[in-house]
Amino acid sequence: MSSMLFSPITLGPLALSNRIAIAPMCQYSAVLGLPTDWHMIHLGNLALSGAGLLIIEATAVTPEGRISPEDLGLWTDAHQEALAPVIRAMRQHSPIKIAIQLAHAGRKASTEVPWAGGAQIRPDQPRGWQTVAPSPLAHADGEVAPLALDANGLARIRAGFVDAARRAHALGLDGIELHAAHGYLMHQFLSPLSNSRGDDYGGSLENRMRFPLEVFEAVRAAVPRAMAVGVRISATDWVAGGWEIEQSLRFAQELKARGCDFIHVSTGGLSPLQEIPLKPGYQVDFAQRIKGATGMPTIGVGLITEAQQAESILQQGQADVIGLARAMLYDPRWPWHAAAELGAQVFAPPQYWRSQPREYKTLFAATRTG
């Protein structure tokens, strides 16, 4: 049986040569939102992995939307210009398709980088700023509460997503993933644990979905249909009374009706009270339910580390694409090793062809596919 993991698939207009996606991973290595040499070597390395799709890390659409002061941004033309050489280098040496995750951190913004503890940087501290959110509810005890967004604030952030999307298209990227997961701004609107608004953007499920759907519609309209636009969600908060799978199914159906090309299914991140039952593939069941209910191409992710595990998920119809994050950092040649194990072929640059083990003489594709 041929490997599904190394079979082609389309996410709307986006054709992938295989079903391995490198999920967005924050690097906390930008300066004022601008990419640095780290991004060149980090993304360049991943572009040579043999994966079908690379999604660039969460990229802020406004300055206050950064998780940390060192987050990547795309809120000005200068950010676009600084990212262009990185994209150009990847294009020159790899056929990998490239998307970008556009994001706003909401109340989870203004924090230290993880290796410095990740705590909130208060607005009265150097490098800190006042956060904004659907409601003035802090993410954790002891943190400075965010300011509730008014109509002007909502319009400004919507416009930020649109402008960043247009810059992503101008960069020649193949797709956009909107970040509505992990407790960031759009997830904060969705969850009743973080959204206590009394206007048209709070209360009922329909109202809580309104702003994320408005952002999606605005971005979808801002770029050509030939550019894929998808959404990453947290299917559940893992907290009683919070966002959960039934609401996620409804949200996914609304996204599909508006032209969403794919959905990337994660969980958690909204509340420190979450209780996550970690185990290999612990989020895949949620992807399977959303895939079954909507028929939308679905990316499954979460402690997927082995080639046979990934292959089994696809063979069982639980997801359409496998998203890898930390596993790819640990082993940037994961797709090579998976192809060897599953008897498939994978792209490798000719400079690396001599590394092909003798027992896998047909491992590397001789041409740029995808």
Q: How far is CA 188 from the centre of its chain?
A: 16
278's tokens: 């970690």
Is 184 considered catalytic here? yes
71's tokens: 């987050």
Q: How far is CA 276 from the centre of its chain?
A: 20
| DSSP 3-state of 199 | coil
Q: Which is catalytic among the residues 184, 330, 352, 360?
A: 184
Return d(Cα 260, Cα 247) in angstroms, integer: 17
Q: Comparing C-alpha atoms, which of 120, 126, 229 is closest to residue 179? A: 229
Spatial contact of 337 and 331, defined as CB atoms under 8 Å apart:
yes
Spatial contact of 201 and 195, defined as CB atoms under 8 Å apart:
yes
- For residues 62, 189, 213, 222, the Cα torsion angle rounded to the nearest 10 degrees is 0
Return d(Cα 65, Cα 68) in angstroms, integer: 9
- Give the helix/strand (H/E) hosting 75: none
**Buried (b) or exposed (e) across 210-228, using 16+ Cβ within 10 A?**
bbbbbbbeebbebbeeebb
Long-range CB pairs of 88-93, under 8 A, 24+ apart, other chains included? 89/40, 89/44, 90/43, 90/44, 90/47, 90/54, 91/172, 93/44, 93/47, 93/48, 93/349
- List, by residue number, the catalytic residues: 184
